[in-house]
Amino acid sequence: MKPIGIFTVHILHVFAPNYCCFADSGDWHDTIPDSLFSFTNNQTDMSHHCHWIKRAVSLTFLISLFLQPLSNWAAEAIPLPSVLSATATVQRSERDGLWEKSLIVQFSTPRRAISTSDGMVEAKVGMEFQGRDGRGGKSYVDFIRSNTAAKLGVDLQHIAHMATAADLDNLAVVTREYGPLKVTVLATAGVKSNAIRTGVDEGSYIEGEEPAGTINIMVLTNIQLTDAALARALITVTEGKTAALEDLKIPSTYTPAVQATGTGTDSIIVVSGTALPKASYTGGHSRIGELIGKASYQAVVEAVGKQNGYFLSGAKRFGDAALGKPKENGALRLALLFPVRFPKIGSAWKTKSGKPFAMAQTGS
């Protein structure tokens, strides 16, 4: 919902010129829809109405001045676990009549991070932003990064960033924990315009002309991760993301007969925590890797549901998202639902009925 301050500024700039410039001309009322006002051609009536209109515009101007800071930098706090020692806000602003939204995650101390946009970073801020202007892709990205760094008083080298065309109002935030370990994933996702199946679809990317869409994932951990663990986490996150798209049955935009593995512009940021124990491995066999994978999976499912209306069968629907085709019942592998053990006959696993295990599964 737009802040009131922005709405009042629009009233001032759209309506006030019409009233002031055409008040004494015979066709001034043609600039206003008949459904809003009805006037006669009597000059006295026009002057009378113009008097009250000017007073209303003056009042609007005063209100807009009072609320101007709200229109420039309105922020919504995103709750994060305290053990992460980080704060997150979604900041909404307007510039040159266009909306801009930014997810800003700030850390109490610099954190070692890996970013698919920036490489290795000593991050004080992790950010994701949505918006556009006449500069074009890369130039606009550089402008937003510089502008945000100046507002926050942070050097550019300490910002890990991502950009998206998905609505940041559809942000998903998921936390998983086990014992002393805690992982929070923040994700946005848009999969209708440029979903691809890697290894099948053609790449025609030209710098600065990347298509809209994107699945962006930011991972925050409370424990320390080595550089190797940060790098391995990119694989774990990607596996969780791709599993989510598989279970949601998201098709490739370019080859609709095959299933998408991501979009062509996906980004990931993984941020190390500060607590012990320090993890050197974040693959799926580790507990921290399990948490990263599961949180990433759940966050992508939720973000795609909010943005594009795709849901798992029987899953929660979001009121602000259009309903999409749910996944058919029984389309998940049994192994994803609960651990199954069957007696081994010879060199192959078989069910009690004697059928090979692969034939006994309920779906692909």
261 pLDDT tier (thresholds 50, 70, 90): very high
- Both tokens of residue 1? 């919902």
Question: In this model, does residue 35 exceed pLDDT 90?
Answer: no
User: Residue 103: which of 124, 75, 79, 122 has the closest Cα?
Assistant: 75
Q: What is the pLDDT of residue 314?
A: 65
- How many other CB atoms are found less than 10 A from the CB of residue 25? 11
Q: What is the pLDDT of residues 303-340, one digit of tens each?
A: 999 999 999 976 655 443 333 444 444 433 322 333 33
Q: What pLDDT is recorded for position 32?
A: 37
Query: Between these two residues, 137 and 30, which has the higher pLDDT value?
Result: 137
Tell whether the model's pLDDT for residue 140 goes beyond 90.
no
What value does the mean pLDDT take over residues 339-355? 43
pLDDT of 276 higher than 90? yes
Two tokens, residue 331: 């389309």
For residues 62 and 309, which has the higher predicted lDDT (pLDDT)?
309
State the pTM of this model.
Answer: 0.68
Residue 37 contacts by C-beta under 8 Å, 6 or more apart in sequence?
29, 49
Q: State the residue for tokens 């015979």.
A: 26
Q: What percent of the chain has pLDDT over 70?
A: 61
- According to the model, what pLDDT value does residue 100 have? 85
| b/e code 300-331 from CB counts within 10 Å (16+ = b) | bbbbbbbbbbbbbeeeeebeebeebebbeeee
Predicted local distance difference test score (pLDDT) of residue 59: 55
The tokens describing 33, both together, are 């829809």
Q: Which of 122, 87, 109, 79 is nearest to 275 (CA)?
A: 109
Token pair in block for residue 83: 């053990």
The model's confidence at residue 139, banded by pLDDT at 50, 70 and 90, is: confident
Q: How far apart, in Å, are the Cα atoms of 339 and each of 189, 289, 312?
A: 30, 19, 21
**Beta strand residue intervals within 36-97, DSSP E:** 74-78, 86-95
Chain segment 212-245, per-residue pLDDT in tens: 679 999 999 999 999 999 999 999 999 999 999 9
The residue among 70 and 311 whose pLDDT is bigger is 311
Mean pLDDT of the chain: 75
